A = this chain, B = another copy of it.
Amino acid sequence: MSRSAVVLLSGGLDSATCLLIAREEGFSIHALSFDYGQRHRVELDRARALAARYGAREHRVERIELPSGASALTDSSVPVPKDRLGAEAIPPTYVPARNTVFLAHALAWAETLSAFDVFLGANALDYSGYPDCRPEFLEAFERMANLATRSGVEGRGAFRIHAPLLRMTKAAIVRRASDLGLDFGLTSSCYDPSAGGKPCGHCDSCLLREKGFREAGLADPGRA
């Protein structure tokens, strides 16, 4: 029987690629998504479609609350910055402690499943500058996780936070996803899509995605 892994699945390009990598490494996939009132809710539909298409053993969508008013991703009165990638060290789309919260919930589920592997699509190269995407954060989380849990304390295994995209360029991610057969049209990266799910083409996430496809020399079928 293959080992189980919890894969954080947002419905974007990076987390979808991460799911395919975990699958290729032989893990049985338990995909985890969050409904936290994000304005780009189309990503939850995409996450469901991706989990189904790529054979996740289970897909769990947890409803959680995060403080509102702190981020352009959760508060519709805060504008999503357009056409100014890299203008600030940490942009207003940053959601306070989001990856800490997501990984904490992933850890709880992993421990329940007797799993020790958690995958997330964090990237520290072509990214939005979020502090909780950096390698030093992920290492500190992993260390904490092994002190936090029964499994860690009893020595039944060591939790590992896998971030296989961490040091890849967006172009390398696009190429890797293409090699693994990802149907790009199923993914949604935009921070501010239309009601029908159409990407805005101008937010950080759209700009990074466009750059990735351009540098990889591929067309993006997700750009409707």
A residues with CB within 8 A of B? 62-67, 69-70, 89-90, 94-101, 103-105, 107-109, 111-113, 131-132, 134, 136-137, 140-141, 143-145, 147-150, 152-154
Contact = CB atoms under 8 A, between A and B. Distances in A.
9 tightest A-B contacts by CB? A96-B111, A97-B108, A104-B104, A140-B144, A67-B112, A70-B112, A62-B65, A131-B153, A137-B147
Contacts of A66: 105, 108
B147 A108 contact: no
Query: SS class of chain A's interface: helix, strand, loop or mixed?
Result: helix
Given A131-B152, A144-B137, A64 B67 contact: no
Nearest to A136: B147
Nearest to A70: B112
Contacts of A109: 67, 96
